[in-house]
Structure 1
Amino acid sequence: MSAPRTLGGRPGVLVLIPLPEETLEALRRDYVLRYQPDGRAPITPTAAVRAVVTNGSTGLGDTLMAALPALEIVCAFGAGYENIDLESAVRRGIVVTHAPGANAATVADHAIGLMLALARGFAPLTQAVRQGQWHASRSARPTLTGAALGIVGMGRIGRLIAARAQGFAMTIGYHGRSPHDDAPGRYYSELEQLAENSDFLVAACNGGAATRHLIDRNVLRALGPRGYVVNVARGSVLDTEALLHALREQDIAGAGLDVIEGEPDVPAALLDHPDVLVTPHVAGRSPASLHAQHSALLATLAQHFGGARVERAVSAR
Structure 2
Amino acid sequence: MIIEQLDEKFTLHRLWEQSDPEAYLDAIAPRIRGLANGGHHVINAALLDRLPALEIISCFGVGYDHVDAAYAGEKGVIVTNTPDVLTDEVADAAVGLLIATLRQFPQADRFVREGKWRQGAFPLTASLRERTIGMVGLGRIGLAIAHRLEAFGVRVIYHSRTPKHGVGYTHYPSLIDMASDADVLIVTTPGGAGTQHLIDAQVLEALGPQGVLINIARGSVVDEPALIDALQNRTILTAGLDVFEDEPNVPQALTDMDHAVLLPHVGSGSVHTRNAMGQLVIDNLTSWFSNKGPLTPVVETPYPSKND
Q: TM-score, normalised by structure 2?
A: 0.90
Choose between structure 1 and 2: higher helix proportion: 2
Cα pair 1:244 1:270 within 8 Å, conserved? yes
Cα pair 2:65 2:192 within 8 Å, conserved? yes
CA separation in 1, counterparts of 2:249 and 2:121? 31
CA separation in 1, counterparts of 2:153 and 2:140? 20
Match of residue 3 from structure 2: 24
Q: Which amino acid aligns with 1:76?
A: C
Q: Which amino acid aligns with 1:52?
A: L
Deviation at 1:57, TM superposition (A): 5.7
CA separation in 1, counterparts of 2:101 and 2:223? 20
Cα pair 2:196 2:221 within 8 Å, conserved? yes
Does 2:79 correspond to 1:88? no
CA separation in 2, counterparts of 1:240 and 1:108? 23
| Closer, same or farther: CA 151–96 of 1 in aligned 2, 3 Å | same
Q: Which amino acid aligns with 1:187?
A: H
Cα pair 1:53 1:75 within 8 Å, conserved? yes
Deviation at 1:142, TM superposition (A): 2.2
Q: Which amino acid aligns with 2:110?
A: Q
Deviation at 1:266, TM superposition (A): 0.5
Does 2:117 correspond to 1:117? no
CA separation in 2, counterparts of 1:196 and 1:133? 37
Structure 1 unmatched ranges of 5 or more: 1-21
Query: In the TM superposition, what whole-angstrom CA distance separates every residue of 1:191-215 from its partner, at most 9, and x where no partner exists?
Result: 1221122221110011100000000
Query: In the TM superposition, what whole-angstrom CA distance separates every residue of 1:163-214 from its partner, at most 9, and x where no partner exists?
Result: 1111111110111111113224211111122112222111001110000000
Identify the match of residue 35 of structure 1 among 14, 20, 23.
14
Match of residue 197 from structure 1: 181
| Closer, same or farther: CA 215–57 of 1 in aligned 2, 3 Å | farther
Task: Report the identity percentage.
Answer: 35
After the TM superposition, which of the residue ranges 71-80 and 152-161 deviates more from structure 2? 71-80
Identify the match of residue 44 of structure 1 among 15, 26, 35.
26
Does 2:193 correspond to 1:209? yes
Structure 2 unmatched ranges of 5 or more: none
| Closer, same or farther: CA 77–217 of 1 in aligned 2, 3 Å | same
Match of residue 160 from structure 1: 144
Cα pair 2:103 2:127 within 8 Å, conserved? yes
1:171-186 equivalent positions in 2, closer than 5 A: 171-186=155-170
Q: Which amino acid aligns with 2:5?
A: A
Deviation at 1:37, TM superposition (A): 4.9
Match of residue 244 from structure 2: 260
Match of residue 303 from structure 1: 287
Cα pair 2:15 2:25 within 8 Å, conserved? no
Match of residue 10 from structure 1: none
Equivalenced residue count is: 296
CA separation in 2, counterparts of 1:38 and 1:250? 46
Deviation at 1:271, TM superposition (A): 0.7
Match of residue 227 from structure 2: 243
Superposed CA RMSD in Å reads 2.0
CA separation in 2, counterparts of 1:154 and 1:184? 12
After the TM superposition, which of the residue ranges 249-258 and 294-303 deviates more from structure 2? 294-303
Does 2:91 correspond to 1:108? yes
Cα pair 1:128 1:137 within 8 Å, conserved? no
